[in-house]
Structure 1
Amino acid sequence: MWKSDSRMQQTQRLKLILLGEFGVGKTSFFCRVKHGYFPKSTLSTLSPDDFQKTYHVLHNGQPQEVEVTLWDTVGEERFDSLSTTYYRYTSAAILMYSVDRQETLEHLVHWINSARSYCDDVKLFLVGNKNDLEDKIPKDKVRRFAQEHKIQSVFKLSAKTGM
């Protein structure tokens, strides 16, 4: 933690929103980030939840505060009308799919289109969750998907193991 410093720049605020199909692990990832553990069970997310944390980072050699708000959203298309207001002021969308279910990657096209239609200049990040399970999606398919949809970066993780 830094002491107050006149060189400290204005706090940068980032809003990140989790998007993806039901069952890909968005709520488990959210719980891992918010509480630091993997929930034994989760119920379907019926309304969005958010978590805010301030980080102190160095940017161009200068200390800066970055306030990150992470939103866990409903992962079913039938709730789209509820989630459109949650896109407002979004800096980046974390597009989550399950590495053991190829259709969850393919269905992200819907979420990409939604994010781009409601957010100006939104950055997209692709996250393959459940990396502790057998990966059933070829790496080249994920790479092509990311290139085709102009996704910033691709990551794989396991909300369960924290790795």
Structure 2
Amino acid sequence: MIAEDKQAAAKFNKKVCILGDFSVGKTSLVRRFIEGIFSEKYLSTIGVKVDRKAITVPYKGETAHLTMIVWDLAGSEKFTQARANYLRGAAGAILVCDLTRSATLASLSGYITDLRQLSPTAKLLLAANKFDLVEGQQIAFPQVEAAANRFNLPFFLTSAKTGAAVELMFQRLGQMLLE
């Protein structure tokens, strides 16, 4: 009998924050990723909701097991003070804007500033959500691209409703977390 020298796959736990203004689809993106579902019913997040999901990502030529501890933060201004406590220790974050509301893209700079102060090594990416709502879009692709370039962030055009690019976005963030 030959002893196998196979090493167990690397395992990681990483805190990921989901940020953006109210009603941009943060909770819907998280539910799509965690549970694979979408609901038309809007429920405002109060404070923070924490979920987790284990995924596999490439790591040093092998496959690693990464558990994302996903913090879905309220977008309301009432929770601005508490947000600082939630952001500390974040390994990564997804900054979400709503393609049907132009102000939501502009406000991301404040979230980015907070993140870079409180968790300077956090890996960030931008989600331009509600891509399925073609008729009501107020933000054009070049605007999303310009914002992503200005902050040096990868970006995804997502739809929590259809699932477009949601899994791909979280997978990419997972890879970034282990780089």
Asked if TM exceeds 0.5, the reply is yes
User: How do 1:71-150 residues align onto structure 2 when only pairs under 5 Å count?
Assistant: 71-134=71-134, 135-150=137-152
User: Is the Cα contact below 8 Å between 1:7 and 1:62 reproduced in 2?
Assistant: no
1:99-141: per-residue Cα shift (whole Å, max 9, x none)?
Answer: 1111110011111111111112122101011011123322222
Q: Quick one: which amino acid aligns to residue 160 of structure 1? A: K
User: Is the Cα contact below 8 Å between 2:128 and 2:144 reproduced in 1?
Assistant: no
Q: Quick one: which amino acid aligns to residue 136 of structure 1? A: Q
Q: Quick one: which amino acid aligns to residue 23 of structure 1? A: S
Give me the whole-angstrom Cα distance separating, in 1, the residues matched to 2:43 and 2:22: 11
1:50-107: per-residue Cα shift (whole Å, max 9, x none)?
Answer: 1112223442332322111111101022311112121122111100001111111001
**What SS class does the counterpart of residue 125 from structure 2 fall into?**
strand
- Give, in angstroms, the shift of residue 6 of structure 1: 4.7
Q: Quick one: which amino acid aligns to residue 79 of structure 1? A: F
2:30 is equivalent to residue 30 of structure 1 = yes
Number of residue equivalences: 158
Give me the whole-angstrom Cα distance separating, in 2, the residues matched to 1:56 and 1:139: 30
Q: After the TM superposition, which segments of 4 or more aligned residues of structure 1 sit over 6 Å from their partners?
A: none
User: Is the Cα contact below 8 Å between 2:53 and 2:67 reproduced in 1?
Assistant: yes
Alpha-carbon RMSD across the aligned residues, in angstroms, is 1.7
Residue of structure 1 in register with 2:49 after alignment: 49
User: Is the Cα contact below 8 Å between 2:10 and 2:63 reproduced in 1?
Assistant: no
User: Is the Cα contact below 8 Å between 1:8 and 1:64 reproduced in 2?
Assistant: no
Q: Quick one: which amino acid aligns to residue 36 of structure 2? A: G
Q: Quick one: which amino acid aligns to residue 145 of structure 1? A: A
User: Is the Cα contact below 8 Å between 1:8 and 1:62 reproduced in 2?
Assistant: no
- Give, in angstroms, the shift of residue 9 of structure 1: 4.4
Give me the whole-angstrom Cα distance separating, in 2, the residues matched to 1:58 and 1:24: 30
Give me the whole-angstrom Cα distance separating, in 2, the residues matched to 1:6 and 1:12: 18
